[in-house]
Amino acid sequence: MNRAFKPNLVNSVTTSCSSFSLPRQHKLPLFHSHTNTKAHFVAKLQTCKDLASATSTHSNIVKFGFSNDTFSTNHLINCYLRLFRIDNAQKLFDEMPQRNVVSWTSLIAGYVDLGQPNMALCLFRQMQGTFVLPNEFTFATLINACSILVNLEIGRRLHALVEVSGLQSNLVACSSLVDMYGKCNHVVEARLIFDSMCTRNVVSWTSMITTYSQNAQGHTALQLFKEFNHSGLGRPNHFMLSSAINTCASLGSLGDGKITHGVVIRLGHDASDVIASALVDMYAKCGCVNYSAKVFRRIPIPSVIPYTSMIVGAAKYGLGTLSLQLFQEMVVRRIKPNDVTFVGVLHACSHSGLVDTGLELLNSMNGKYGVIPDAKHYNCVADMLGRVGRIEEAYELAKSVEVEGDACAMLWGTILSASRLYGRLDIALEASNRILESNQEVAGAYVTLVNAYALAGDWENAHNLRSEMKHTGVYKEPGSSWIEVKEST
């Protein structure tokens, strides 16, 4: 087909450009007329809330001859991206006669925001073949893509480019690097960048605190949070507060959790849905379900996140009836449950002996709520069946599910524990073999099977298995628990 007749996006928006004229006495100079018109169109694009409005403004931009104007097209691209029309934005971008760093960065950010970080990195490789140089926002967006992908190799290459570009002390670029190294579990490198920053803001502090928290260094995270509060550098925002609360939850530190809750109230963030959800989760993990309930009931319009936190917290402490009541309340309020919500409610059924209710929920997940059950849900149901002695049903369920790796070990570990408890050595033996095949939780499988033989009085096999463990060097670390005593864990 002749390329001259192939329509492009600009030409397809409008098929005709009607002439526009004013009475002679009202005509303005051409330069001022175009400037005002362009500003008017840009203002409209910034406030567009639907596709019809965007395409209408797009049509007017073409009519007034701004289709080749880089500034106007950049705003058009951003408008389409806000409306999740990445296809329109990409086509506009492809047809631009002259692109600048804003054009490239906008589209790269669009792909990252829409969950396509690999496309963003591909686009940057194209950008490197042009004369347009990336700025700090380009690098920050690309480093964020690496954070999402947990791609340390490309992240380090981008770090090198940041250094070469002279942005090694730039606040925006360095904050994103701290976050990227944290997501990739390289805490030391994240801290080196944080310490090298000439200036830091609440974003960079939050990234470093979150890095420590997500890498099992909760005490250091809280120490840094306290350091920020005493530094006079500003007030913590809801992201930092949420990270601090999550750290307290992971440590089981009720004292620090209450102190952080006090900071939340003092700064007026207690109405935040994100923070309220974190507080509900923190109090539940610290064993204070009543506190969780009080925080939850103060949320004006709770979303699925605080509901799920409350359901999971109640289930953990055997309050199955409360979990089910909250789940029904969600359904009545037309709040759609997610996969974690179902893990919580199935866990509640398991620990409360509500087997029929749990099975009914499992069977209704996909058809009624649009949530496809996965290994976590089947594990809850297998545990629920095993607790009441319905070993055969649990065994058949496990056989019917295709799982691998950690998920396989988790599911068959549940079957192994239940069969040991009820003296089903045949099922226990197969369950342990499945776990050994998955090469996960091997030591736990050996110990549970030894206990199963011992419980059944088969001391010979128990002894042989112990000897095999010793010979092959399989060792199970002893379990441990921790509690908080006088603000020490």
297-308: pLDDT as tens digits: 988 888 898 899
- The last residue of one of the domains, among 353, 373, 393, is 373
| 483 is a domain residue | no
Under 8 Å CB-to-CB from 439, ≥6 apart: which residues?
Answer: none
- The last residue of one of the domains, among 324, 352, 373, is 373
List the one residue out of 354, 352, 358, 364 whose CA is nearest residue 379.
Answer: 358
| 276 is a domain residue | yes
The average confidence (pLDDT) of the chain is: 83
Average pLDDT of the residues in 389-400? 91
pLDDT higher at 68 or 158: 158
Which tens digit of pLDDT belongs to each residue from 314-337? 988 888 899 999 999 999 999 999
Helix (H, G, I), strand (E, B) or coil at 136: helix
pLDDT at 225: 95
Confidence grade of residue 262 (pLDDT, cut at 50, 70, 90): very high
Which tens digit of pLDDT belongs to each residue from 34-83? 445 777 777 777 778 888 887 877 787 777 777 788 888 888 888 988 89
Same domain, 391 and 457: yes
Same domain, 327 and 247: no
Average pLDDT of the residues in 3-21? 38
Residue 6 has pLDDT above 90, yes or no: no
Two tokens, residue 247: 């750290």
Same domain, 220 and 268: yes
Residue 376 has pLDDT above 60, yes or no: yes
| 90 is a domain residue | no
How many degrees, rounded to 5, is the angle at CA 33 between CA 31 and CA 36?
105
| 209 is a domain residue | yes
Determine the structural domain holding residue 211 and report its residue range: 200-281
Distance CA 170, CA 288 (A): 43
Total number of domains in the chain: 3
Average pLDDT of the residues in 268-280? 87
Q: Is 25 exposed, middle or buried (0-12, 13-18, 19+ CB in 10 A)?
A: exposed
Distance CA 397, CA 358 (A): 14
Average pLDDT of the residues in 209-229? 94
Q: Is 264 exposed, middle or buried (0-12, 13-18, 19+ CB in 10 A)?
A: buried
- Report which secondary-structure segment, H or E, holds 432: helix 425-438
pLDDT at 30: 42
pLDDT higher at 317 or 179: 179
pTM: 0.73
| 369 is a domain residue | yes
Confidence grade of residue 24 (pLDDT, cut at 50, 70, 90): very low
Residue 178 has pLDDT above 90, yes or no: yes
Phi, psi values for residue 483, rounded to 5°? -135, 165
DSSP state of 282: H
Same domain, 465 and 401: yes
Same domain, 247 and 316: no
| 204 is a domain residue | yes
